[in-house]
Amino acid sequence: MKRKRLRWTYVLLWLVLACSLTGSAGAQEATHVDVLDIEGPVTPIMISYIERGVVTAEDDGAQALVVVLDTPGGQVDLMSEVVQVMLGARVPVVVYVYPSGAYAASAGTLITLAGHVAAMAPGTTIGAASPVGGQGEDLGETMEAKLKEDLKAQARALSERRGEGAVAWAESAIEEARAATASEALEMGVVDFVAGDLNDLLRQMDGFRVTVAGREVTLETAGARIEELPMNFVEQLLHTITNPTIAFILLTIGANAILFELSSPGGYAAGVVGAICLLLAFYALGVLPVNYTGLIFIALAFVLFIVDLKAPTHGVLTVGGIASLVAGALLLFNSPLYRVSLSVVIAVAVVTGLFFAFALAKVLQSRSRPAVTGREGLVGRVGVARTDLEPDGTVLVQGELWRSTAVDGPIERGERVEITAVDGFRLMVRRVSGG
């Protein structure tokens, strides 16, 4: 009896131990963080991407949403929307400036401060958040003072929980465009951690307490599984085309394709490709801060190209068009945050110029050739006299009968004649030497 009880005791102990191990493994497996990877200027696509990440992290029970950030900044209104999304999240949002060499400049500074946890990798920088105009220009004195005070108020609200040193630095980053390295930011309390990689950050954050949606949360991230949340196809496409260089290339290809379709209608392929490229380019131009002077220069370039094909300038306007295209591209996004690569500008201008130079050469070549259609194309043709020409009669040319006049004496029926001129619907002909 005692042995039987002892046996059942062992069985129960093993069952309890197995359940405990299974529960621990399940809990450890359920612990994870969702990760977003954001690189480039702040755009509306970034906002929708972060919104989707927050919703996903809230729904799948992630310990935190980690935003891996590398941005030169962006427009103030877009930055404010990103901050609102992050502050309204019901899951801890961690902003991690990574990798080494990355930076959270301008609007990226306030986005980093808005994270429930702010972290940087060694070799990264943060700051230089002084406001500038949409085209990178200095603002007027009154507008600059107003905008700076507004941004400093936001910075104080976002950094006050990190101490007076963080608040003072955040204000100076806006007022004086100050920047800081990762170690300097950590020393001043601007960021909470400096971590070499994501696993190191998760290890350091374990046990860190943050306030999320009015409640205090203790992070349990040691050994947490990392779940990447990449951009979907639409987000990736729109994020790609809002790159200033890509937007300029799409604009140029679209304009070239449309002009090619108009000059050689009937194929439709060039027109369809051109329309798609222009629509994507116009979307990008609607999102990015555009300098309309640059857009006018680009439009002028294509006007000059077209006129050069119609007018006998022998390429002078094409050269002017190339210069106008380069100037327009450099002015289109004349901002520290949105620039078209100079090498791309030169390459696109050269290719476009060569395309129109080739078209111009073909036009000049066709103008130098004698006409081969219509009445003018009859000059020099050889026909046969169907009646005696004394001097008037009928000549058969290219299967058609024409009233004709002999210009160098009578011509007998059946003789070969050459057309020398066309007068209305009458041909001027002469006898072909040798009959």
Determine the pLDDT at residue 12: 54
Q: Which residue in the list 24, 146, 263, 362 is annotated as catalytic? A: 146
Query: Does 147 lie in the same domain as 209?
Result: yes
Average pLDDT over residues 228-233: 93
Q: Using the 3D structure, point to which of 330, 352, 368 is the last residue of a domain.
A: 368
106 is catalytic: yes
Average pLDDT over residues 150-154: 89
Confirm whether 42 is domain-assigned.
Answer: yes
Query: Does 331 lie in the same domain as 309?
Result: yes
Query: Does 384 lie in the same domain as 310?
Result: no
Confirm whether 25 is domain-assigned.
Answer: no
- 79/133 Cα distance (integer angstroms): 15
Query: Does 259 lie in the same domain as 170?
Result: no
Confirm whether 76 is domain-assigned.
Answer: yes
Query: Does 182 lie in the same domain as 56?
Result: yes
- 246/201 Cα distance (integer angstroms): 34
Task: Domain of residue 361: give its range.
Answer: 242-368
Q: How many domains does the chain have?
A: 3
Is residue 364 classed as helix, strand or coil in its secondary structure?
A: helix
For residue 200, pLDDT beyond 50? yes
Q: Which residue in the list 48, 106, 130, 324 is annotated as catalytic? A: 106
Determine the pLDDT at residue 24: 42
Query: Does 248 lie in the same domain as 137?
Result: no
Q: What is the mean pLDDT of the chain?
A: 83
Q: What is the dihedral sign for C-alpha 301, 304, 306, 312? A: negative
Q: What is the dihedral sign for C-alpha 368, 374, 376, 382? A: positive
Confirm whether 237 is domain-assigned.
Answer: no
- 122/101 Cα distance (integer angstroms): 8
Confirm whether 165 is domain-assigned.
Answer: yes
CA distances to 17, 29, 353 from 23, rounded to whole Å, are 10, 10, 69
Q: Using the 3D structure, point to which of 232, 262, 288 is the last residue of a domain.
A: 232
Average pLDDT over residues 241-247: 87
Please report, for the domain that includes residue 419, its CATH number: 2.40.50.140
- State pLDDT tens for residues 16-49: 444 554 444 444 445 899 999 999 888 888 999 9
152 is catalytic: no
Query: Does 316 lie in the same domain as 210?
Result: no
Confirm whether 23 is domain-assigned.
Answer: no
Confirm whether 26 is domain-assigned.
Answer: no
- 105/247 Cα distance (integer angstroms): 23
Confirm whether 195 is domain-assigned.
Answer: yes
- State pLDDT tens for residues 351-377: 887 877 776 666 556 555 555 555 666
Query: Does 123 lie in the same domain as 43?
Result: yes
Of 291 and 126, the one with more pLDDT: 126
- 68/78 Cα distance (integer angstroms): 18
Query: Does 258 lie in the same domain as 311?
Result: yes
